[in-house]
Each structure stands twice: as structure tokens, then as C-alpha cells.
Structure 1
């Protein structure tokens, strides 16, 4: 590709010819503010906050969609530019709820940040505000159009990345809003609860449905035995909420903080990830050996499961019947753990700390009550856990490292990589390969399934068998893959699907990321590094070698995919109408 040289604020800048002026400026360390821009997802020039002056042009230009040209002269900091940007932001604020101090995104709001940087001290425009109402109908996602700035980022992510498309623009002019078809409540449309719209939103117009107060009430209840569990991806991102660099692993501090919050037991969802591999791995072997439905598709991601139920119900029989790991652990806590400790399951309250908003919907499914009680009682996102830690006045960064509680806190390296795309596949292959061949793997890393390509493929030799596998992350990539399987273009034995791009590390409940970080870092890779580091640091790195997993089968389940495990650890899924939601 050819390079071009342009002048930005008197500085000569040479960049590839396919760059925009925004990208060229940032490559030279010149910051141009943006609000609607999401690289390769929402590049529409809608908000006009990124306008610049270009020599020879009669009007200001939106730098996020303006292609560089050789010899172009650009000014990003003239009086005309500053006044235009300021006016645009003031217009946004004039039709925006002014509850900043109590807003979910206070101090992490991109509109607030841009307004501060531009020196907006008052809103010059007064008048009518668009009438809206807050939609709290979904168990996972709360939508508040009164804070929406019409940037379109949620619309583009929902349609282009996730291939769901439940959000869109309606009406015109001042009456324009982002909403669902026919302005229906979120619970009445085929939303998959993935929360990627929340992650994309620059303001507080979208957020998770908070359950913090329920958890505090349970902790305060002397009749409740409150058990908490944490997903693999949480330890790779929680530190960001306390100023630590992206990708900092905070496993020990997280366990310590949870104890100080008052939980009776602190368990690790990674234990159940190992349990999932035992069940799912043997389920795959059974299907391969006995003519079961293939390809078998993983069932750990509730956003993906709901997507399949709505849009690809013909693949429901392909789904592994395994519950997701946190639901498995909830079932184990209310059965095995309850029996061992003489606690009535009705008095146990299970809290899951998850990177995922779809887990909130999942925990309410009627199919996930194998003990007669909900496997999981409350789900908190990584962001909600950070709020609780701050509410409790805990100095997170200064906490000493502590371990999880036994037995359900023991896990392997295979379990922790569940949080990254390809991790479930790799963990399963580590176990399945040794079960099939009866030999120890010389190299346990299956690097063929790592990385952030939308779809990854590999052929794995398992003794005399060749197993074709594929990994997809984001439901948009899953759509492409399943369409290829439906048409006969592709054939696989085993498929891993994660609902979010990059896997759980970029789930809808993870810490918000600044626009600068989005431009300069691959969040998926930065957070995944922490998980692979923890995998390498583990003494045991294969699920079937976890001594506590062996113990629970010896004492309780008998064998993988046995009668007892099917009662507690497996489930079924249902076809859902696309519209309206049933």
C-alpha cells in the first residue's frame, strides 16, 4: 500500500493512503475528540465532534470519515473548529438528562469528558426536551433514551457485529430516537442480552440491570449462607476499575476483597469450568463414537445460546447439553456442598460475579433449577463488583493475595482460559486427546485455536481419529459459520461459539474502555494475556487432573455423563420466536 504525506497543525505526517484524517492525526499524537466513532464498526461522521478545517474546503469536515490525500493541509485547533465542536456538544447537552452525579457513567462518560475538554461551562440552548421513558423490562439491559446522544454506536454493534439488529433509529429531526421495532420493551424483542450495546454506548443510555442491593441484603441476612463465585475473565479486568493497567491479573486480590465484603464462601467458577470439560469432553466422545448429533457446539455462552434459540433453532440438538460453568457450580453448591455441610439448599444464596450481562437472563431460566431452587440467585457484573468494593471502602490495590476456598475453589490452567475465545476448545482438547490416546500430551497448548480472527479452524489428530474443529466469537461470526455448515460448505465435529468478540474478556459487564484505549489497544488481546499467564503459572493445566474434580466424581457423581451428573449438570434449550419474544 502506498503512503501519503499531509500536514496536520503544521506537522508533516506520513501514513498509509487508506487512513482517515482522524487516524493520521492520532498516529502523530494529535488528539481529535470523537463520540460516534467506533473503528470499523460505526464510521459515519454523525456527531460532528471530530470536525477539522481543511485548506481549500468551504466547510468543516468530519475527520473520522475524511480520507487522507497527499499534500492535504489540516487544522484541528482553530477558533472556528473549537467553537463548532463546543456548539455541537452544547446542543447534545440541551436534550440530555442532567443527572451526571448520579449517572451510571459519571466520571466514565465520553460526553462528559469531551465537554470538560472543550471547556463547556453552561448550556446556551434552552427549550423542549424529547419525552422518553426508561425501559427496565429486560433482566439484563436497561435502556434510557433520555441520555441517548444518537451516536448510533449501539445500533451498529448490534447489527454489524452481533447480527441481531434489535436497535435502530426511528422518527426524524428533533423526534429521532434509538429504540426497538415499534418501540417495544426490550423483553419483547429478540435481544440476546449480550450487553455489547452497553459496551459501545459512550454515555449512560444503556446499562446492566443492577442487583447489588439484593446481594447486600443476602449478606446481611443471618439466615442466609451466601456463596460467591467468580468467572475467569473477571480477574483479567477488575483491576481496571481501580486504576491498574489493562490486562493486570488480580485473582488473589479479588478473592481477598470478596471475603471482606462478607461472603461466607469464596469459590471459583474455574472449578466448574474443569467440571464442564469433563462433562462436555465425554459428551463429544460419546457423539463421535455412537453416531450422535454433529457438529457438537459448546453451550457456555448464554448470549450465544439465546441467539441460537431465536435465529438458528435447527441447531439446538447440536448444542452440548452441559449447563454453563457458573450454573453448574450453583447446582453443585446446592446439592453436593449443601449435603456435605448440612445446610438446607433453601438457605443458600449463590452469587455469580460475571463479565457478562446475559448471565443475568440465564440465571432466571426455569430449566436451571435442578435442585428445586434456582442454581444461581444473583448475577453481578465486573462493574457491579467494583461498585460494592468501593461502597465498602476497601483499598483494593493494597489487598494481599488470598486463595479461594476449598473444594470448589480448586481449578486448573485449562479452566482459566475459558474467558478467551478458543479457550473452551483448547481446554476440551487437552482432556479429550489424553482420554482417547491414553497418552500424555507432549505439548498441551493448542495454538491453532488461539487468536482473535473471527473464525478459526483446525484439524486435530486424536489417535486414529481426525477431528475437525472451529471457533467463532461474536454472534455475527457464528452466523457466518453456521450458514456454511447448513449449506454443506463446511463440516466439523466440534464448534466453540462465544457470544462476544474476543470471548468473555470483552463481555457486556466488563469495565468501560476509553476511546483512546479503543484506538490504540486490542482489548481482547490485552485481557486474554492475563488468562494465558495464569494458565502457565498453574501447576496442573488439564481439567481431568484436578484432584478436586476426581474427588467429586468419586464421592458424588460417579462418572462423567452419568445419571447423577445429567440430573444436576445438564439442561435443554427451547426454540424461541424471533418476534415477539415468547
Structure 2
């Protein structure tokens, strides 16, 4: 064990522990911006680029990034003295000086880590002026890239490459114009992106956000000529409660349905229904392939892989284009429900297809 002192508190930690983690063990919170960790998966993003987490190590000339600096025996560390606070505030002001000032209309307003730090540090003015970096906005069916708001934390790059193994994002350019983007700065929809949305979930600013259809839904619900139905994925009823302070995994099916009806949805469906249809379609297709194989048909492809997840289908199409005849040809449960709702259900309730609006509440951006 290594013994060190952090803000006059003695703490013992394992060798290889960073100052950031040692401070957390000692009950000392150090602000961070680029650092991000998935403890259960053993994956950590710590490029040390933002320098918000710097601390003073006595005997060391310069300030040290706590997310990258490993502890040593006898270290004496100051995390909140005037020198450290001044350095953090200066760095934060420099980051904000190259950031758009459109917080009121930004999709991440109120849920932005950069905004939270500015509030925590009491920043009300930015004394640094000059040129700002500007990039074109990239809108795909699922994700909006507003790269003017990128702070180069590289969390999205870590998620895309190390966790999802998609490889759609990486750092491009150098110096002032460096940014995280697809190769050759191509549009996201032309890249290997699967629209899984994991990059959006870890972005600390509004550089990556999902395409939002809320206003379109409100207009549809307000239109007396429209019949609006909604389908909810099974994961939603298990995850939604956490947003309202319930224990993670708490089922809120009944309350969710009641809330949707109160909002004005005419009919509420569970995607479980169309998932059963997908299973039957894929099962039928498997039987057909097996019959063909047993009959000696050399063109039959086995095994069969599911096609129920659009993100998985996108991944397969980009990475295994020579095996596109292996997955099932069946639609996903969400797509199958939309087709049934617009045809069989619309006829059943006597509504024209153009007047029936189908809304999907899903956990994955690939389903947009």
C-alpha cells in the first residue's frame, strides 16, 4: 500500500492508483471534464486534455493532471489552494472562450457538464476574446453533430472505438482546428456509424445530441384530425422510473401507460406484441432455410442471425458486407408494429393511414 496526504488527510491506496481516485477515497472531490469511467467494464477515458482536474504536488514545479498521475509514497497533494483554483478557472475560461453562447436554446442546457462547471466556478464573464473555431453542422436521421461545441474530451471516441468497436469517430486535424469526427470529416450517415447513440450518452456538452421529434409529437397530439398511437419498448418501462427517483429497474408499466393516455395518446401498445410477430417470422424463415439445406440447396445460408435490432443490422452491413444474406429478412419489432398499425389497425378503427400517427418510445437512437 502507498501512503500519501491529500488536503491534510492521510490515505492509503494500491500502487498504480491515480491521484483522482485516491482523492475520491479520501472524500475529496476534484472536478473533471474529459475523465469518464465505466467501472463495471474496466474502461476509462483519461486523455488528460481538459486540465480541469489539475492539483498541486508539493516538490513538483508544475501542476499535475490528477486523472493521469499515479500516486507515489509520501506525496503531499493540495487540491483546492489558490494556485490550483486559479489555474482551473483560467483553463475553464479558455475552453468557454471557444464555445458558442447559445445555452438558452441548446439541447443540453441544464444537463451540460461545461455549464455546470461554469456555475460551480462562478464564471460570469469571459475575458478572452478572439477567433473561434467553426465547423459545419452535420445532421443524420438519428444524431446531430454540432462540432462548434466539441471540447475534445474524446469520450465519444472512446465509446465508439473501445466499447462499441464501431470505429466511426476519431480525432482529426491539428492545433486550433482539431476535433473529433468521422474519417475525412465525412457526414455521419456516410460513415460506419450504427447510430447506437453511446457517443451521445457520454458527450458532456451539446456537441452530440439526438434528433428530437418532441415538437412534432405535440403538434400531432394537438391536431383533432389525427389519431396518435404509441408503442413502448420493454426496456423503457424498466428504465423510466429511475428518472423519477425510483430504484433502477423498477417497473412502471401502469404509471407509464396512464401518463401517455393523459398526454393525449389515443392508443398505447407494447412492442412485445410485434416482437412475438418477429419471432414467428424469423422462426418461419429458419424452417424454410433448414428445409432447403436438407433438400440439398447449395444457396441456403446457415446459421441465421436475427435482424431485430437496427443498430446490429447497421453494424453488420458496414463490417460484413459479404455476409448480408445471413441475417433474417424480417423487420425489427418496431418496424413491424409500424407496418401493422398503418395497415391492419388503421382499417380496424376506421382511420385513414394519412391521419394515423405512430410514435415509438425506444431506448436506442438507431430506431429513429
User: 2: CA distance between counterparts of 1:247 and 1:77?
Assistant: 38
Residue 111 of structure 1, CA deviation: 0.8
Query: Which of 131, 136, 158 does residue 133 from structure 1 map onto?
Result: 136
1:172-191 → structure 2 map (5 Å cutoff): 172-191=174-193
Partner of 1:13: 11
The 4+ residue runs of structure 1 with deviation greater than 6 A are none
SS at match of 1:223: coil
Residue 182 of structure 1, CA deviation: 2.6
Query: Which of 303, 319, 326 does residue 295 from structure 1 map onto?
Result: 303
Mapped pair 1:98 → 2:106: no
Query: Which of 4, 22, 31 does residue 2 from structure 2 map onto?
Result: 4
User: 2: CA distance between counterparts of 1:287 and 1:160?
Assistant: 35
1:446-461 → structure 2 map (5 Å cutoff): none
1:344-379 superposed Cα distances (whole Å, 9 cap, x missing partner) = 33332211011111111xxxxxxxxxxxxxxxxxxx
Partner of 1:26: 24
User: 2: CA distance between counterparts of 1:44 and 1:74?
Assistant: 21
User: 1: CA distance between counterparts of 2:122 and 2:364?
Assistant: 36
1:138-193 superposed Cα distances (whole Å, 9 cap, x missing partner) = 11110111211111111222222222223222332222222333322223323221
User: 2: CA distance between counterparts of 1:210 and 1:85?
Assistant: 34
Residue 63 of structure 1, CA deviation: 1.0
Residue 235 of structure 1, CA deviation: 1.9
Residue 232 of structure 1, CA deviation: 1.4
Q: Is the 8 A contact 1:41 1:160 kept in 2?
A: no
1:503-522 → structure 2 map (5 Å cutoff): none
Higher relative contact order (CA 8 A, sep 6+): 1
1:178-220 superposed Cα distances (whole Å, 9 cap, x missing partner) = 2333322223323221211111210111101111222222223
Partner of 1:73: 76
Q: Is the 8 A contact 1:41 1:161 kept in 2?
A: no
1:423-444 superposed Cα distances (whole Å, 9 cap, x missing partner) = xxxxxxxxxxxxxxxxxxxxxx
Mapped pair 1:44 → 2:47: yes
Partner of 2:297: none
Structure 2 unmatched runs, 5+: 38-42, 294-299
- The TM-score with structure 2 as length reference comes to 0.90
Instruction: Rate the CA distance shift 1:294–1:29 in 2: closer, same or farther, 3 A.
Output: farther
Residue 133 of structure 1, CA deviation: 2.9
Instruction: Rate the CA distance shift 1:6–1:345 in 2: closer, same or farther, 3 A.
Output: same
Structure 1 unmatched runs, 5+: 361-582
Residue 122 of structure 1, CA deviation: 1.9
Partner of 1:450: none
Residue 78 of structure 1, CA deviation: 1.3
How many residues were matched structurally? 357
Partner of 2:333: 325
Instruction: Rate the CA distance shift 1:91–1:191 in 2: closer, same or farther, 3 A.
Output: same
Mapped pair 1:231 → 2:259: no
- The TM-score with structure 1 as length reference comes to 0.58
Query: Which of 92, 113, 118 does residue 116 from structure 2 map onto?
Result: 113
Mapped pair 1:55 → 2:58: yes
User: 1: CA distance between counterparts of 2:88 and 2:248?
Assistant: 30
Partner of 1:305: 313
User: 2: CA distance between counterparts of 1:163 and 1:94?
Assistant: 33
User: 2: CA distance between counterparts of 1:128 and 1:139?
Assistant: 31
